[in-house]
Amino acid sequence: MTIKVGDKIPDVQLSLATADGPVPVKTGDYFAGKRIALFAVPGAYTPTCSAKHLPSYVEKAGELKGKGVDEIVATSVNDAFVMGAWNKDQGSDDITMLADGNGQFAEALGLTMDGSKFGMGTRSQRYSMIVNDGVVEQINVEAPGEYSASSAETMLGQL
């Protein structure tokens, strides 16, 4: 079952990418008491993710925070080292990277996709959501191969 507006996000362990290495976090604790703009990509360093998705949130971070977002979080079925390197290379200090290395978060949300055709295995679908104190306020799931609904620009229009 796919998560929907009004649902509480599932409580699973992710890895926070930090300069000192991965730090385990539970989503139930991490999302508590904050309004978070969360976006997910099929893979760090993949073409659309690097050319459009992450850059849209880097560029619009100030505007998102100006509309009541406490934190901007990116997630992907990658390890914390890859997510940290991607943020250092193409992201910014305004983006928090939460690695879903085993795909448990994507699976618990009901938002997985089969990337086997590209040698990627099970990955997260491309989506964005506003999570307020652990509850989904807004969710935007992309159609396969598309990029627009989950952009920072779309999210800004919804806030």
Cα–Cα distance between 22 and 25 in angstroms, integer?
9
Could you give phi then psi for residue 10, rounded to 5 degrees? -70, 150
Helices then strands, counting H and E runs in the chain, come out as 6, 9
| Sign of the alpha-carbon torsion through 42, 46, 49, 50 | positive
8-state DSSP, 142: P
Token digits of residue 100: 């879903």
- State the catalytic residue, choosing from 12, 16, 49, 72: 49
Nearest-CA neighbor of 25 among 83, 104, 78, 99? Answer: 99
76 neighbors 57 (Cβ within 8 angstroms): no
49 is catalytic: yes
Quickly tell me which residue has 């290379």 as its tokens: 89
Which amino acids are annotated catalytic?
A: 49
